[in-house]
Amino acid sequence: MRGAESTRGLFLVLGGRVTELLQQLGDVALLSGRTFYQAVRPPYELRALVQQMDHVGVKSISICGIAAVFTGLVLALQTSYGLARFGAKAYVGIVVSLSMVRELGPVLTALLVGGRVGSGITAELGAMKVTEQIDAMRALGANYIKKLVVPRVVSTMLVLPLLTVLADALGILGGMVISRYEFHVDSHLYLSTIWRNLRLADLLSGLGKTVVFGFLIGIVGCYNGLEVSGGTEGIGRATTATVVTSAILILISDFFLTKLFWWLEMLA
């Protein structure tokens, strides 16, 4: 009897967790649909959009740039050691550039921006929720989705590709520096191998991912911020959940987006 009761309790707990997860997915899908609808419907909150682009993009340049430079340095260092065994150090440029453009640049930038911006969005909206500012906007008839959610989601989707381009360029340049001064690979040879072998499809596949990553960061941050409860402790829990959830979603979606872009390239 005790075994049957414990099994029943386990199934009840699992069922409750699954039900809660499905409810959250439905709420996120509903918020996403309302966000897209309000984004294409006039009037447009251009001032709020520009302010959010400055907050998301300009203030994230330093952290993304530093991470990209040292990623390129380490990638070139490891790649050169491996290629030196086969006498192929001249090809370090194309290996570094493909790795940065297709994978490391988009993913690392999204993870850093998700940790910095996503948590900030959640904390900001969570503070407004706790202090009942969002309820006041509803009472006054203001569209809080258009004024609060749309600028944050759209700005993240627009800025993240630009940050990724910067990260790709800095990572490739960092690889060139370590290849030149550590392994004596001529800079002209390094750049020429990239110019001859790197395709536009490689760049577009990486940038295409960042648009989806930006949407995930923005919508998860806004959803957790709007669902905050429990005062300041609730804000802390929500910001932690945003960082963890956005990172997991970025890594999971990266796999499926990579498969999708490879499939599209094969069809083309």
Residues 116-149 pLDDT 10s: 898 899 999 988 888 888 888 888 877 888 888 9
Distance between CA 146 and CA 152 in Å, rounded?
A: 10
Distance between CA 185 and CA 122 in Å, rounded?
A: 46
The helix or strand, by DSSP H or E, that contains position 141, with its residue range, turns out to be none
Q: What is the pTM of this model?
A: 0.89
184: nearest Cα among 100, 84, 75, 96: 84
Check residue 160 and give its pLDDT. 94
Q: How many CB atoms lie within 10 A of CB 240?
A: 13
Question: CB-hemisphere CA count at 13 Å for 73?
Answer: 9
Q: Which amino acid is at 63?
A: I
Q: Is 42 left (phi over 0), alpha (psi -120 to 50) or beta?
A: beta
Question: What is the distance of C-alpha 232 from the center of its chain?
Answer: 26
106: nearest Cα among 147, 167, 151, 49: 167
Sequence-separated (6 or more) residues with CB below 8 Å from residue 51: 151
Distance between CA 104 and CA 128 in Å, rounded?
A: 35
Is pLDDT at 172 greater than 70 in this prediction?
A: yes
Q: pLDDT per residue over 13-57, tens digit each?
A: 677 677 777 777 888 888 888 888 888 888 887 888 888 888 888
Domain spans of the chain?
46-263
Is pLDDT at 213 greater than 70 in this prediction?
A: yes
Check residue 215 and give its pLDDT. 94
Q: pLDDT per residue over 151-171, tens digit each?
A: 999 999 999 999 999 999 999
Contact indicator for 206, 103 with CB cutoff of 8 Å: yes
* Angle, helix 231-267 to helix 105-113, in steps of 10 degrees: 160
148: nearest Cα among 170, 129, 165: 129
**Confidence class for position 110, pLDDT limits 50, 70, 90:** very high
